[in-house]
C-alpha cells in the first residue's frame, strides 16, 4: 500500500491515498484536543483504580492490567474497580455522542436526551421492572432499553409531519417527558418504602455494583454503534444548513436523519440501561468539546472524549472528593451540569 500524500487546508490537513480515491480532512487542533482529553480521562481512571478503601500502588495497577499481577491487587482492580471505571468511560462516550447528534439534528444546544424525554422514558421502563415486576439487575437494564426505545419511537412518529422537524421533536419530547415523569412519580408513591428507595437511587444514576455482566453488553453496543455514528456524521454539517440546502448537496435528508436519530437513541438507551439516567453529560459534553476543539461543526470524537472525561471525573468526585462521603455519580454530574446549564443560558 502506497504512503498517503498530504495537503494543508485551513487549520487542518487533508490526507489522501496515492490515487486520490480516498481522502479525509484532519483538524490538527481538534485531534490534539481529543488526544489530551483521552489522556486526562485515562489518568483519572488509573487514579480511580488505585485509590479507595484499600489503596493499590499505581505500578501494581498497571501490572495488573497487563496481566502480570496476581493475588489481592488483581481481585481489587479487575473484579471490583475496573468494571465500574469502564462503565463510566463507555456511558460517558455514548452519552456525549448521543447528545452531539441530537443537538446537531435539532440545531439547538438544549437538544439532548435529557430534555427530549428519552431518559425519562428509560426511567419509566426501569421503574416498571423494579416496582411492578420485581426484576433483577439485568432485567432492569432491559426495561430501561425498551422504555427509551419506545419513547423515541413515539416522539418521532408524533413529530413527523412531512419530515421530522427539529422544533417539533423538542416540543413533542418535552410533552411526552412530562407525562412519563408524572407516571414515574405515580409508581414511586404507590410502591413499598424499600422498593421506592431503591428506585430513587437508580433514578439518580449510579455506578455502584457494576460488574462484568453489565460491561460486556455495554462494550459490544458501543463498539457497534460508535463507528456507525461516526460514519453517518459526515452529513451532520450539511443537515445543519437546512433541509433544502442539504438536499441540493445530495444528502438523502430523511433517511440520514432517521439513521442518526436511531443511532443517537440507541446510544442513549444503552448508556441509561447501564448506569441509570445520568444527568447533563449528554447536554454538556458536546458543547464543551466544541469550545475546546474550536471545531466548526459537530465533532463526535471530541464529544465522546469529553463525555468519557466528564463521567470518570464525576465518578471520582462522587466517590472521593465530597465531604459527605460516597454518593451516586448522578449527583456529581447534576452539580457540574447544572452549573454549566446556568452559564449557557446566561451567555447564549
Residue ranges of the domains in the chain? 31-49+85-347
Q: Which of 303, 238, 241 is nearest to 267 (CA)?
A: 303
Residue with more model confidence, 161 or 41: 41
Three cell numbers at 26? 484532519
Residue 80 to residue 141: CA distance in whole angstroms? 20
SS3 of 243, please? helix
Torsion of CA 106, 30, 84, 96, to 10 degrees: 0
88 Rama class: left (phi>0) / alpha (psi -120 to 50) / beta: alpha
Asked if residue 52 lies in contact with residue 316, where contact means CB atoms within 8 angstroms, the answer is no
- Bridge partner list, 14: 7, 25
Q: Per-residue pLDDT averaged across 199-227, rounded? A: 84
Phi/psi at 163 (5° precision): 115, 155
Mean residue pLDDT across the chain: 78
Give the HSE-up count for residue 229: Cα atoms under 13 Å, Cβ half-sphere: 32
Selected from 1.10.3470.10, 3.40.50.300, 1.10.3720.10, 1.10.260.40, the CATH number assigned to the domain covering 31-49+85-347 reads 1.10.3470.10
Contact 288, 112 (CB under 8 A): no
Task: Show the cell assigned to 258.
Answer: 432517521
Q: What would the grid cell of residue 137 be?
A: 439487575
Return the beta strands (E) in the chain as ranges. Answer: 5-9, 12-16, 23-27
What's phi and psi for 242, nearest 5 deg?
115, 155
Q: What is the pLDDT of residue 312?
A: 92
Are the C-beta atoms of 89 and 96 separated by less than 8 Å? no
| Pairwise pLDDT comparison (239 vs 175), residue with the higher score | 175
| Mean pLDDT calculated for residue range 152-166 | 74
From its phi and psi, is residue 163 left (phi > 0), alpha (psi between -120 and 50) or beta? left
Grid cell locating 31? 485531534
Asked if residue 90 has pLDDT above 90, the reply is yes
pLDDT digits 0-9 by tens, 230-266: 887 777 766 666 666 666 666 666 677 778 888 888 8
pTM reported for the whole predicted model: 0.82
Residues whose CB falls within 8 Å of the CB of residue 298, separated by 6 or more in sequence, listed in order: 100, 101, 103, 104, 233, 236, 237, 240, 286
Q: Which one is predicted more confidently, 345 or 54?
A: 54
Amino acid at each position: 500500500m502506497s504512503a498517503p500524500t498530504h495537503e494543508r487546508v485551513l487549520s487542518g490537513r487533508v490526507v489522501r491515498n496515492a490515487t486520490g480515491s480516498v481522502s479525509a480532512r484532519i483538524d490538527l487542533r481538534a485531534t490534539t484536543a481529543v488526544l489530551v482529553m483521552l489522556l486526562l480521562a485515562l489518568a483519572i481512571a488509573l487514579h480511580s483504580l488505585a485509590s479507595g478503601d484499600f489503596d493499590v500502588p499505581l505500578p501494581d495497577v498497571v501490572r495488573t492490567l497487563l496481566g502480570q499481577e496476581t493475588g489481592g491487587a488483581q481481585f481489587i482492580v479487575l473484579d471490583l474497580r475496573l468494571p465500574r471505571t469502564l462503565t463510566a468511560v463507555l456511558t460517558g462516550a455514548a452519552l456525549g455522542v448521543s447528545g452531539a447528534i441530537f443537538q446537531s439534528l435539532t440545531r439547538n444546544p438544549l437538544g439532548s436526551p435529557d430534555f427530549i424525554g428519552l431518559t425519562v422514558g428509560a426511567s419509566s421502563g426501569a421503574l416498571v421492572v423494579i416496582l411492578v415486576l420485581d426484576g433483577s439487575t439485568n432485567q432492569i437494564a432491559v426495561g430501561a432499553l425498551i422504555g427509551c426505545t419506545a419513547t423515541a419511537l413515539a416522539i418521532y412518529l408524533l413529530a413527523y409531519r412531512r419530515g421530522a422537524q427539529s422544533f417539533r421533536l423538542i416540543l413533542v419530547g418535552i410533552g411526552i417527558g412530562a407525562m412519563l415523569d408524572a407516571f414515574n412519580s405515580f409508581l414511586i408513591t404507590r410502591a413499598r418504602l424499600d422498593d421506592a428507595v431503591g428506585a430513587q437511587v437508580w433514578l439518580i444514576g449510579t455506578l455502584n455494583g457494576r460488574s462484568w455482566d453489565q460491561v460486556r453488553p455495554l462494550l459490544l453496543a458501543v463498539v457497534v454503534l460508535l463507528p456507525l455514528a461516526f460514519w453517518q456524521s459526515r452529513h451532520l454539517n450539511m443537515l445543519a444548513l437546512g433541509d433544502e440546502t442539504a438536499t441540493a448537496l445530495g444528502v438523502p435528508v430523511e433517511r440520514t436523519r432517521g439513521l442518526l436519530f436511531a443511532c443517537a437513541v440507541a446510544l442513549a438507551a444503552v448508556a441509561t440501561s447501564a448506569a441509570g439516567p445520568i444527568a447533563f453529560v449528554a447536554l454538556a459534553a458536546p458543547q464543551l468539546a466544541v469550545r475546546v476543539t474550536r471545531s466548526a461543526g459537530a465533532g463526535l470524537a471530541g464529544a465522546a472524549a469529553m463525555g468519557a472525561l466528564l463521567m470518570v471525573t464525576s465518578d471520582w468526585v462522587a466517590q472521593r472528593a465530597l465531604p459527605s462521603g460516597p454518593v451516586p455519580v448522578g449527583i456529581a454530574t447534576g452539580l457540574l451540569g447544572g452549573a454549566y446549564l446556568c452559564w449557557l443560558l446566561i451567555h447564549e
